[in-house]
Amino acid sequence: MQASICVPTSSTSHSLLKPNSNPLLGHSLPSKSCFPLKRRASFTTKAVLSTTKEAVLKDFHERRALKIISGLQNFDKENVASVITAAEQGGATHVDIACDPELVKLAIGLTCLPVCVSSVDPAAFPAAVEAGALMVEIGNYDSFYEMGVIFTPEQILNLAKQTKKILPSVALSVTVPHTLSLPDQVKLAEMLEQEGVDIIQTEGGKCSNPSQSGVLGLIEKASPTLAAAYSISRAVNIPVMCSSGLSAVTAPMAITAGAAGVGVGSAVNKLNDVVAMIAEVRSISDSLGASAGTGRRSTSEEKTLKL
């Protein structure tokens, strides 16, 4: 039996493993950009699972993660493909798509970046992980807010517990909703950390209505999620991802505030042209101090995850 593994040419930690090969489940999918390696009988041991998870989370622990989000309810394959391409070519470290196995297969055919899937239904995650996703996210609630649906701390905590029970070895990110007061956001984040969640994601950009235009407006729009990242990062020991309403102007502020990375959605996925998407991702990547494209690590530091 064989598994596919990606060989980086000049890459960050996200290229340590190829989503086409999912050691969390012991399955592999064919990929032209990967070569086969012999799989050992102990392929699904805890040590291998731990190493895989560590590789997926490495950019967060190094406080330079950039996750590009296509949208929890975005099932438009053409748009999702454009977002994935922009993430790959623009210098992102992760891509976040709707929890759909077919979209996951599409994603792993387009990128070597770890694929995260978002949902509020834990039962939907296994099929996506089976297809190649290496990270799951409970969050991206924006589309539900538009329908008047609000998630309580109890509901979110329960969703996290269910997900950990179903997929104990998969990296799990959980969004703390901006609809809670800041102290309640911190309290929920602390409880999620106790449940074994790997990443806390903040939000708030869409709830902000800037009164100014230009740079002042961008800063004003990002202020709720920046405040959440600042407060939560000082209360928990796990990485915090600052998301919602961020731009090349405010992404560096998120890192300064204490975030381990940033998540960007509408600033990219609402653009109509893939070239414009790539430019936007690259602009944000550069603002975080990362070089454009994949040249973020010297050749001497390149590694292949040997399983």
CATH number at residue 251: 3.20.20.70
pLDDT tens digits for range 140-188: 888 888 888 999 999 999 999 999 999 999 999 999 999 999 999 999 9
Spacing of C-alpha 94 from chain mean position: 5
- Does 12 map to a domain? no
To which residue do tokens 């798509």 refer? 97
pLDDT tens digits for range 211-220: 676 889 899 9
- What are the phi and psi torsion angles at 201 (to 5°)? -110, 135
- Other CB atoms within a 10 A radius of the CB of residue 183 amount to 10
Q: What percent of the chain has pLDDT over 90?
A: 67
- Does 36 map to a domain? no
pLDDT tens digits for range 267-284: 999 998 999 999 999 999
The confidence score (pLDDT) of residue 14 equals 41
Q: In total, how many domains does the chain have?
A: 1
- What are the phi and psi torsion angles at 290 (to 5°)? -95, 145
- Does 297 map to a domain? no
Mean pLDDT over each residue of the chain, to the nearest integer: 82
**DSSP three-state, residue 147:** coil
The confidence score (pLDDT) of residue 28 equals 42
- Does 213 map to a domain? yes
- Does 9 map to a domain? no
Q: 14-28, 38-52, 161-175, 292-306 — which is least confidently predicted?
A: 292-306
Give 119's strand partners: 138
Spacing of C-alpha 302 from chain mean position: 22
> Is pLDDT above 70 for 245?
yes
- Does 18 map to a domain? no
Residue numbers of the domain that contains 200:
62-290
pLDDT-derived band at 44, boundaries 50, 70, 90: very low
- Does 44 map to a domain? no
Alpha carbons within 13 A on the beta-carbon side of 105: 10
The CA-based diameter of the chain, rounded to the nearest angstrom, is 60
Spacing of C-alpha 32 from chain mean position: 24
pLDDT tens digits for range 96-130: 999 999 999 999 999 999 999 999 999 999 999 99
- Does 144 map to a domain? yes
| Token output for 156 | 């979110």
